[in-house]
Amino acid sequence: MLLEKERISKEAMPGQFVNLRVGDGYYPLLRRPMSVHYTDGDRFAILYNVKGIGTSLLSTYGEGDQIDVMGPLGNPFEALINNRKGELYLVAGGMGIAPLYFLWREQPANLIMGAKSKDGILPSTEFEGTEKRKGKREEGRGRREERREKGEGGKGRGELEKRTRKTKTVFVVTEDGSVGEKGLVTDYLPDVSDG
């Protein structure tokens, strides 16, 4: 959902959120916190699934409707925004993609995103002009530990190729294998513990 509020769009940084009043009066009483998904000129986007009363009410808003918004709130991903040390891997499952997508748009990074099925993955139009890679998955932790004992570095259970910080690589994983690789995002994490 795109919302037009120039101040929020200009001030929001990756990792911040807004609070939305989704109903009239006192119902529902509490505002709904939503991550800023990205900014575009004087507009900003939020990403949500309809799960409860708050998001059900939010889904009734259409173009031109007014909504009470507070923000931007929270602390941005300061340490990651200006990261100049090595590669940056952003890992998100399900709706966790909302704030990380904003960071990914702002700077080069490798994005590993997962969901239960293709319905939970952002449309490919969101990633035009990016490099998409497939990885190789090893079965279980045993092989990972075995490689460490042999002194063979470790890229983790998912053998993700090395990439430069200038790339914007997207790696997709779904639990049912309907798009991308089949498995969990954690199956494809690089081994960052080796330094």
- Mapping DSSP to helix (H, G, I), strand (E, B) and coil, where does residue 132 land? strand
Share of the chain above pLDDT 70, in %: 72
Residue 136: is its pLDDT beyond 70? no
Q: What pLDDT was estimated at residue 46?
A: 96
Q: Does domain 78-188 have CATH number 3.30.70?
A: no
Q: What pLDDT was estimated at residue 41?
A: 93
Give residue 167's pLDDT band: very low, low, confident or very high (50, 70, 90).
low
Share of the chain above pLDDT 90, in %: 46
Q: What pLDDT was estimated at residue 166?
A: 54
**Cβ-defined contacts of 161-164 (< 8 Å, 24+):** 161/133, 161/135, 162/87, 163/87, 163/110, 163/131, 163/133, 164/87, 164/108
Give residue 162's pLDDT band: very low, low, confident or very high (50, 70, 90).
very low
CATH fold of 2-73: Elongation Factor Tu (Ef-tu); domain 3 (2.40.30)
Give residue 128's pLDDT band: very low, low, confident or very high (50, 70, 90).
low
**What is the arithmetic mean of pLDDT over 97-123?**
88
The model's pTM is: 0.74
How far apart are alpha carbons 122 and 107 in whole angstroms? Answer: 18
160-181 burial by CB neighbour count: b if 16+ within 10 A, else e? beebeeeebbbbbbbeeeebbb
The overall average pLDDT reported for the chain is 78
- Mapping DSSP to helix (H, G, I), strand (E, B) and coil, where does residue 99 land? helix
Domain ranges of the chain: 2-73, 78-188
Q: What is the pLDDT of residues 62-86, one digit of tens each?
A: 999 999 999 999 999 987 777 667 6
Q: What pLDDT was estimated at residue 125?
A: 61
